[in-house]
Amino acid sequence: MFELRVLTGLHRGAALPLSGTSWRIGSSDEADMVLYDPGIREQHCLLEKLTTGWQIAVLDGPVINSEGHAVEQSLMLSPGTPFAVGGIWLCVVSADTPWQDEAEETPPDEQQHVGDAETPADAPPTEAVAPEETSPTPTPETLLVLQEKRRLPLWAKFSYLLLAVLLFMIIGSWMLQETAAMPPAPPAQDTRLPIGTLPQLTSTLQTMLTDRELERLVTTSLDNNRIVLSGALLPAQHTRLARMLAQFHQRYVTALQIENLTTVKNDQLPFQIVQVTSGPKANVVTSDGRRIFVGDEVDNLRLVSINDSQIEFRGKQQIKVNW
């Protein structure tokens, strides 16, 4: 199982399970991976799964390969190779691959060793440096005069200390006045659209479900001033529904509750069939030796029919197995 990971940008850390053959990337709500970063077009690019690997097809926005070059039409990818769409870096990796740290240590630069340059033969001779003149040794009378000049009187020391305290008080008072006079920041305005009635909420959800081709798979029902979503979905469809609900709360504000009771559909049997017998006494034999006839129920699944090409079970969901 592979997934498309967002490495940078506003949605850094998000991942899209790659179940299917193609996925649209862009800022449109109809895209499989929605990115609201600046520079992302509505239909930016298309990720496709081919028999030879993964391919990125350019649609409305620029695509950059791992070396920083722009892609004109399409780009073949191998798992783990990053690429950028509108400045946002993405990567197709296995779902079991651990996330790497955002910042990695970079190797230090190689040290440059510079040898001493030899003096050329025709170089001009170095000028001789004249020795410094030795200053005369000060007499005791001179030292006494210098010490008296360097020593400050006591009143000067107190004056400097008083000026420093006054300056500190003036600066502190000015900073307190600036802080008190600064008005509080206005609260952020909520720009989401309000929804106050159940009919409005139901209509909005139905429109969003229809846009994502989920209207036949998800059932909406009213229950004590709340809307309940129910149905059995495939993993990719269940992820699409969760992304739709997140976008709903980003656009609308409502006091009504939305409860998601949808489940993930599993098309696999909880046991393995090793033998199939058709005819009047049609039955199947499981890997643990159990023989199941038409009408028998095992693990909450009832064997409904066995024909020449298919076995049908029914329970919480309908499962058909080809043989």
pLDDT tens string 275-312: 888 888 889 998 888 898 998 988 888 889 988 888 88
Which domains are seen in the chain, by residue range?
Answer: 2-94 (2.60.200.20), 193-264 (3.30.70.1770), 273-322 (no CATH)
Q: What is the pLDDT of residue 123?
A: 40
Report the pLDDT value the prediction gives residue 56, as an integer from 0 to 100.
93
Structure tokens, 290:
């159990």
Q: CA 65, 66, 68, 69 torsion: positive or negative? A: negative
pLDDT in tens, 163-211: 888 888 888 888 877 666 666 667 777 788 998 888 999 999 999 999 9
Report the pLDDT value the prediction gives residue 191, as an integer from 0 to 100: 86
Q: Using one digit for the tens of pLDDT, what is the confidence trace for 68-124?
A: 899 988 999 999 999 999 889 999 999 898 987 644 444 434 444 434 444 443 344
Question: What pLDDT was estimated at residue 108?
Answer: 39
- Residue 140 pLDDT class (50, 70, 90 cuts): very low
- Render pLDDT for 15-73 as a digit per residue (tens, 0 to 9): 999 988 999 999 999 999 999 999 999 999 999 999 889 999 999 999 999 898 999 88
Q: What is the mean pLDDT of residues 129-149?
A: 47
Q: CA-to-CA distance for 204 and 28, rounded, in angstroms?
A: 17
Res. 151: pLDDT tops 70: no
pLDDT computed for residue 180 by the predictor = 64
pLDDT of residue 132 exceeding 60? no
Percent of the chain exceeding pLDDT 90 equals 37
pLDDT recorded at residue 122: 39
3-state secondary structure (DSSP) of residue 56: strand
User: Which are the contacts of 60, defined by CB distance < 8 A and separation ≥ 6?
Assistant: 26, 41, 42, 43, 44
pLDDT band at 5 (very low <50, low <70, confident <90, very high): very high
Predicted confidence (pLDDT) per residue in 210-264, tens digit: 999 999 989 999 888 889 999 888 888 899 999 999 999 999 999 889 999 988 8
The reported pLDDT for the residue numbered 23 is: 93
Strands of 283-286's sheet in order across: 273-277, 283-286, 291-293
- For residue 149, is pLDDT > 60? no
b/e sequence 227-244, b meaning 16+ C-beta within 10 Å:
bbbebbbeeebbbbbebb
Q: What is the pLDDT of residue 172?
A: 83
Q: Is the pTM of this model over 0.95?
A: no
| Dist. CA 314–CA 296, nearest whole Å | 11
**pLDDT of 137 above 80:** no
Instruction: Order across the sheet with 82-85: list the strands.
Output: 15-17, 2-6, 88-94, 82-85, 63-64
